[in-house]
Amino acid sequence: MASPTSPRLATSLCGIALRNPVLAASGTFAYAVEFESIVDLANIGGIVVKGLSREPMDGNKPPRIWEAEAGMINAIGLQNIGVRAFVKDKLPGIRQLKTPVFANVFGNAIEDYEEVVRVLDGEEGLAGYELNVSCPNTKHGGIFFSNDPVLLAGVVSKVRSLTRRPVIVKLSPNVAKIDPLAQAAESAGADAISLVNTFISLAVDARARRPRIGNNYGGLSGPAIKPIALRLVHEAARAVKIPVVGLGGIATGEDAAEFIVAGAAAVEVGTATFWDPQSPLRIARELDAFCAEEKISRVTELTGTLRLN
């Protein structure tokens, strides 16, 4: 019987052992502990918590979510309780979990990332960090960290200097070419990269002549973005030597297999958890069944096996 803890699925990411390569993505799984009563957290490959900032953030005005034809548009606005409240109220519960938990970190200046990591690095219970660089650098005229290799390298190298924990850099797809960003993250000391974040999008109410999202624009995720995400993961995996974590529209085990074949060492599941909180476990079971059907003894054998025409 397929299982999320099958030996076929055992792998590692940045030296951290994972029961399976299916992680819950940031922004979709709260701070992990909220799901204890409905999901067997011990058998998830890993969990990336909701993004953390220096101070609490209220997020954007509603409406914040709109269901698109083949996905979801969100403009939550990175609402979170702030890093110090996270350490006080959430981290004690996270320490009891038997699954690796990564803290997602973001900010609008390098100093913001620096402060959040300084606070977290003095605490036990985290496996590593995922840096959300899809933020405007307010000290450099609002240029997004994710769009500029120099700014990106600056924030990655600063965080790298502050911690021995693995640093994963989450890249945005809203760029002309992914290779130089992936390479900048690698050169600055990233242990892995994850991609993709959401695509900037717009939903319109034609009768009201207004956007359907309170913040006007939002981020598109879900099945609609999977083909583009696959292409970007493949391009990034060919451009760097560090592991790539793939995400973007993964809803089934075969979806996960596609990302792994394209070059991903692991995957993250996000939007699917909104309609099925247990989707990371289900997808891992389906991935195990896929490996069995394909006579794959270890899921790692699939990584980067895509043969281009």
Phi and psi at residue 269, in whole multiples of 5°? -115, 125
Which residues, including other chains, have CB under 8 Å from residue 161's CB and lie 6 or more apart? 189
Q: Quote the DSSP letter at residue 57.
A: B
**Active-site entry in 24, 76, 110, 135:** 135
Q: Report the 3 state secondary structure along 59-98.
A: CCCCCCEEEECCEEEECCCCCECCHHHHHHHHHHHHCCCC
Characterize 65-91 residue by residue with b for buried, 16 or more Cβ atoms within 10 angstroms of its Cβ, and e for exposed: ebebeebbbbbbebebbbbbebbeebb
Unique residue bearing structure tokens 């918590």:
49
Q: Is 291 a catalytic residue?
A: no
3-class DSSP string for 101-144: EEEEECCCCHHHHHHHHHHHHCCCCCCEEEEECCCEEHHHCCEE
Q: What is the C-alpha separation between 118 and 168, in angstroms, rounded?
A: 16
Cis peptide before 105 (omega within 30 of 0): no
The total number of residues shown for the chain amounts to 309
End-to-end CA distance of the chain: 35
Cα gap 244→171, rounded to integer Å? 10
Task: Say how far apart CA 169 and CA 163 lie, in whole Å.
Answer: 14
Q: Which residues are catalytic?
A: 135
